[in-house]
Homo-oligomer: A and B are copies of this chain.
């Protein structure tokens, strides 16, 4: 059964889209379609050029015996800007301000399409760093971490604030919450993160950065290197931030609980989009 070029292209496009950041050997397609390598390379070239032209992402070709193609989804500046604008608009909707200067975001974090775009934006910023795992803190960060991990094709490691039997043996640390100054605990299952991993820390909300400092301390127990920190919302209210090097999608400030008013503006992430 021979395949037409158009059929091959449909299949190869869908396969690459479903396997982002995974090296697919050319021989996989050669065997699948029983077609010469040169034809398959031509198919790939068409997909590659269309992906570039239409800003779907990048196809990286690796030469040699173990060579193949890797699809790297990439968000471009224009799309990143309009996503940030959309986030700002949504966050400014009525009744989002909660006691303590938090924002209600569960509906946004529960929207798979929006979350997918946020994941692509964060993945784009860190696509050239060597990263082995996405680390986050339960509960709010999990969905965001999944969205980033889906695109980067990396495992998600979830730190909990309580110790559950379902985690097996764990390592835990105590830390001081940056804004409330309360002592809290963080727990990570020993076998979820191999020693010496490079990790990207992702979370939904950062105030003083106490939780993320806690994560960093926990990471050093696992001899892990922190390759980056990215948050959906940072609160600018905080005078002394414990974390210096991070990216944020939006910034929250001028929180006035009495008048239910606040300001949302773009975070520093757009600096990564030239």
Chain B residues contacting A56 (CB-CB under 8 Å) are 11, 14
Query: Do A139 and B140 have beta carbons less than 8 Å apart?
Result: no
Could you list 18 further interchain pairs (A-B, Cβ under 8 angstroms) beyond the known A104-B167, A106-B167, A138-B138?
A7-B46, A10-B50, A10-B51, A13-B13, A14-B51, A17-B18, A19-B113, A99-B165, A104-B166, A105-B166, A106-B189, A107-B155, A111-B155, A112-B150, A112-B153, A116-B150, A142-B143, A166-B205
Most buried by B among A50, A106, A205: A106
How far, in angstroms, from A64 to B192 measured CA to CA in the complex?
51
How far, in angstroms, from A157 to B112 measured CA to CA in the complex?
11
How far, in angstroms, from A146 to B102 measured CA to CA in the complex?
23
**Residues of A with Cβ closer than 8 Å to B?**
5-7, 9-11, 13-14, 17-19, 22, 46-47, 49-51, 53-54, 56, 95, 98-100, 102, 104-107, 110-113, 115-116, 138-140, 142-143, 146-147, 149-150, 153-158, 160, 165-168, 189, 191-192, 205
Most buried by B among A14, A53, A150: A14
Specify the main secondary structure of chain A where it touches its partner. helix
Chain B residues contacting A147 (CB-CB under 8 Å) are 146
Query: Do B54 and A11 have beta carbons less than 8 Å apart?
Result: yes
How far, in angstroms, from A33 to B143 measured CA to CA in the complex?
35
A78: shortest Cβ distance to chain B, in Å?
16
With A6-B9, A14-B13, A138-B139 as contacts: A166 and B112 at CB distance below 8 Å:
no
A122: shortest Cβ distance to chain B, in Å?
14
Chain B residues contacting A10 (CB-CB under 8 Å) are 9, 13, 46-47, 50-51, 54
Residue of B whose beta carbon sits closest to that of A97: B168
How far, in angstroms, from A17 to B116 measured CA to CA in the complex?
13
Nearest 3 Cβ contacts at the A-B interface: A10-B50, A17-B17, A13-B13
Chain B residues contacting A53 (CB-CB under 8 Å) are 7
Residue of B whose beta carbon sits closest to that of A71: B14
